[in-house]
Structure 1
Amino acid sequence: MSYTIALNFEDGVTRFINCREDEKVLDAAFRQKVNLPMDCSDGVCGTCKCRCEQGDYDLGEDFIDDALTDDEVERGLVLTCQMVPSSDCVIAIPVPSTACKTGIAQFQATLAEVKSHQDAALEVVFEADATNAPVFLPGQYVNITVPDSDQTRSYSFSSQPGAQRFSFLIKRVPGGLMSTYLDQAQIGERLTLTGPLGSFYLRDVKRPLLMLAGGTGLAPFLSMLEVVAERGVDQPVHLIYGVTRDLDLVLVDRLEEFARRIPGFTFATCVAEPGSTHPRKGYVTDHLSPSMLYDGNVDVYLCGPPPMVDAVRRHFSQVGITPVSFHYEKFTPTQVVTVDEEACA
């Protein structure tokens, strides 16, 4: 038996390694040529201290308090030289990937389908090679190299991790490099993808979830909801999906399907344009009721353009609510920025 360990470095790079039963994470990483920080490897110095964000493990008793205190253990800190996983795990590594002599994974995939949602978005599906289905954390993104150029664009997966066919929801940008390419792309073309990347991903669901999506920022939530549907959840999950125009509301049928598949999942859509015929007008913040915030006992995930992210942050400040954790990702046509704010950290 072996477990999959996601090593999430502070520069946003994620590397996946396999850890054998009864094998320590540090040893497994070295075996797979990932040089995690270490000095003594005996649980004495604390150099290999990281944070386990998800999964089960045993730390044993062969480390000293100076290396890892009881309080740090309670907060999920671990010594990778002592940590023996008993499930798949996600570990935050407090150094950049380059410091561990590893880099971003790169792979190729075949363009399988391009579906246009009028002038709002493109749903793009790739087919992975038989032995190279992408592994990522639900919510993460990749950089896709635009053919016949040296430029990349960043897009979040909208599909379930590990599937042979995987997808992205891409905003159509008039004159945009990727949009222009996709309008004339031929099915069967090969593209290069780099990743996975980003610290915006679904953690263990331990309390109510509030998901806030702006435009094609819906994409990572579709991936997260696929995982929630598969694993099951005993907490309420609510998503608010806000767009500018009526035409920008895409893949609502997917959300309706999730509402049937996931007990406790609800969603609402809203349109900002004053002339909209949609029953709920305004911005996402106009539809954030106090009951959705559980007096702060909630995990919030937000993905949208910078003005939306800033507006939500201001709203939380104005109502005096600090969520237990607040994970957000700002995106522009060429850039993605992810941030985590954890009150319990």
Structure 2
Amino acid sequence: MSFAVSVGGRSVECADDQSLLDACLRAAVWMPNSCNQGTCGTCKLRVLSGEVDHGASPLDTLTDDERRAGLALACQARPVSDVELSSPGSTGRATHALQDLVATVLEVSDIARDTRRVLLGLPEPLAFEAGQYVELVVPGSGARRQYSLANTADENKVLELHVRRVPGGLATDGWLFDGLAAGDRVAASGPLGDFHLPPEADDDGGPMALVGGGTGLAPLVGIARTALRRHPDRVVLLYHGVRGAADLYDLDRFAELPELHPNFRFVPVLSHEPDPAYRSGFPTDAFVEDVASGRGWSGWLCGPPAMVEAGVTAFKRRRMSPRRIHREKFTPTE
């Protein structure tokens, strides 16, 4: 059975076992979205009429009072009748339609301690924005895991993922680090997420600070390269925070960028295993040391929640406008 979901003047069909967010994104109706696990609250919206089943919406993200007030998490809620929704900013915003994909593994390579690069070939190009992510279906379980794309939007037939091993992880120890090989077929869906640059017409070419923790570097690679392609002389500082030098990767890639873009700077920062070749401490502190004023800058943060929150504090400390601070938290799956 399916129901009509109305939002921003558009109406889409949503099956009774399908989330509101999934139905809208597949119809290219934009809704705010980030983790798609019910933990971040980005997709919270108001149900103006009709009823929904809140499913697995966590109480710490969607409280009982909010449910009684008609709020819902679009990534978790399913319709039980025709519904009308109010979603902030949904009217008129362009998006790429969510698609189901079957990709072929082209390469699996170890690039750092407990970190792998996975290249997935697609039969047809995937439309996305640099910084978005895809979900992979873990074989034999039906579980889904999210991995950011390290690509720019024109690199749309070979997707690059950076994967860090999670001890005991269903997707990593049970699959991506144990048996995944070139030639394997992988079920996926994408693109997802709002962590990407504004449209080129709205990009003022201002200075940017990007901070990635661990494989939180992945989406920042595509974002930084896209930003520099638009404005080759813009100031871009890219910080990579890891425990030790063994966790760093793609240093050659970042060493080449300043040859074309003299105002680009890549800054590795080691938090637990000092090395005289690199800065020690935390990448958010390194930004505070390097930049006297963040006025006019945009900030981009991706990685563990604690690092992202520290980055928000650091950016505000340097007077960066809150509306220019963008974040993507890597939240663990239960």
* TM superposition score normalised by structure 1: 0.65
Task: Give the 3-state SS of the residue equivalent to 2:312 in structure 1.
Answer: helix
Deviates more, 1:173-182 or 1:237-246: 173-182
Distance (Å, rounded) in 1 between the aligned partners of 2:289 and 2:227: 24
Other-structure match for 2:152 = 160
8 A Cα contact 2:100 2:190, kept in partner = yes
Deviation at 1:268, TM superposition (A): 1.0
1:199 aligned onto 2:194: yes
Aligned residue for 1:315, secondary structure, equals: helix
Name the counterpart of 1:209: 208
Q: Unpaired runs of 5+ in structure 2?
A: 1-27, 36-84
Deviation at 1:263, TM superposition (A): 3.8
Deviations 1:196-239 (A, max 9, x none): 11110122431111111111001001112332344443421111
Q: Which runs of 5+ in 1 are unaligned?
A: 1-5, 14-46, 53-78, 81-89, 93-101, 336-345
Pick aligned residue for 2:105 from 107, 111, 115: 111
Task: Say yes or no: does 1:173 pair with 2:176.
Answer: no
Give the structure 1 partner of residue 114 of structure 2.
120
Q: Aligned letter for 1:173? A: V
Cα root mean square deviation, aligned: 3.1
Partner Cα distance (1:49, 1:286) in 2: 36
* CA distance in structure 1 between the aligned counterparts of 2:129 and 2:29, rounded to whole angstroms: 11
Equivalent residue number for residue 241 of structure 1: 240
Which letter does structure 2 place at the counterpart of 1:133?
P
Give the count of matched residue pairs.
Answer: 253
Aligned to 2:132: 140
Are 2:217 and 2:302, in contact at CA under 8 Å, matched by a contact in 1? yes
Distance 1:293 1:199 in 2: 29
Report the 3-state secondary structure (helix = DSSP H, G, I; strand = E; otherwise coil) of the residue aligned with 1:149: coil
Conservation of the 8 A alpha-carbon contact between 2:224 and 2:236:
no
Q: Which of these residues, 87, 90, 94, is aligned with residue 91 of structure 1?
A: 94
Residue equivalent to 1:8? 30
SS across alignment from 1:126: strand
Closer/same/farther in 2, CA of residues 279 and 222 from structure 1, 3 Å limit: closer
- Determine the structure 1 residue equivalent to 2:47: none
Tell me the distance in 1 between the aligned counterparts of 2:223 and 2:291: 19
Task: Map 1:1-345 onto structure 2 (within 5 A).
Answer: 8-11=30-33, 80=92, 91=94, 104-129=98-123, 132-162=124-154, 163-180=156-173, 181-182=175-176, 183-203=178-198, 204=200, 205-206=203-204, 207-289=206-288, 292=291, 294-319=293-318, 321-334=320-333
- Range moving further from structure 2, 156-165 or 310-319: 310-319
Q: 1:195 to 1:318 in 2, by over 3 A?
A: same
Rate the CA distance shift 1:288–1:49 in 2: closer, same or farther, 3 A: closer
- Distance verdict in 2 for CA 1:275–1:51, change over 3 Å: closer
Offset of 1:321 from its aligned partner?
Answer: 4.4
